[in-house]
Structure 1
Amino acid sequence: MPAPYEKGSAKKGATLFKTRCAQCHTIEKGGPNKVGPNLHGVMSRHSGQVEGYSYTEANKRAGVEWSEQTMSDYLENPKKYIPGTKMAFGGLKKPKDRNDLVTYIKEASS
């Protein structure tokens, strides 16, 4: 069972985002889609919903509502959480890293 989300360090999360996410995602309002969709406003949105981004059917059908907990669970192992996703990221195994990253995504994407 995945670890429960606990608020982490947004500063450490920003570093993780730069090193692990930014090559494929933007997070600022109006940012472009890259290999992955722009993440602005991701919290409370459902999976597969960014305008102009080409999602897999698996991602569109998953119907995940992104919250701190669902994002943390997803980031542990994206291909296990949404089988058929095209996200090539292998996941963050350490709960602390996920907590920091999700804390940053929540702050930076709202």
Structure 2
Amino acid sequence: MKISRRSFIKAAGAVAGYAVLGVNIAKEAVADVMDMVARRQNSVYAADANPAIYKLRKSQDNPMIVKIYDPKKGFLHEGPCGHESHELLHTHYYDRSSKLEALKKKGIKLNL
């Protein structure tokens, strides 16, 4: 059975919580956290349902974004898919696999 790091950390945290706090207290703590998460989700959904709370619901309607991409005097006047915006806003990929291979040849074990 394969287990991911995230699953292992969750399981280890639960086991440590049960060991330190005891089963009943840990169950209550988990229930409190889940209650808080449910209340937060309900408040987010309620805010989304009420457009008076958040007037800007889409990023493309943001006045600053509209101003940046303005065709006449905007900073990125070419538009959202222009060359300048691509150069400034996008990341680049660098192949580093050869460096990893060199570390492995030296005997260094990496858990990625």
Establish whether TM, by shorter chain, passes 0.5. Answer: no
Between structure 1 and structure 2, the one with the greater Rg is 2
Q: Which has the higher contact order (CA 8 A, sep 6+)?
A: 1
TM-score by length of structure 2 reads 0.20
Q: Which has the higher helix share?
A: 2
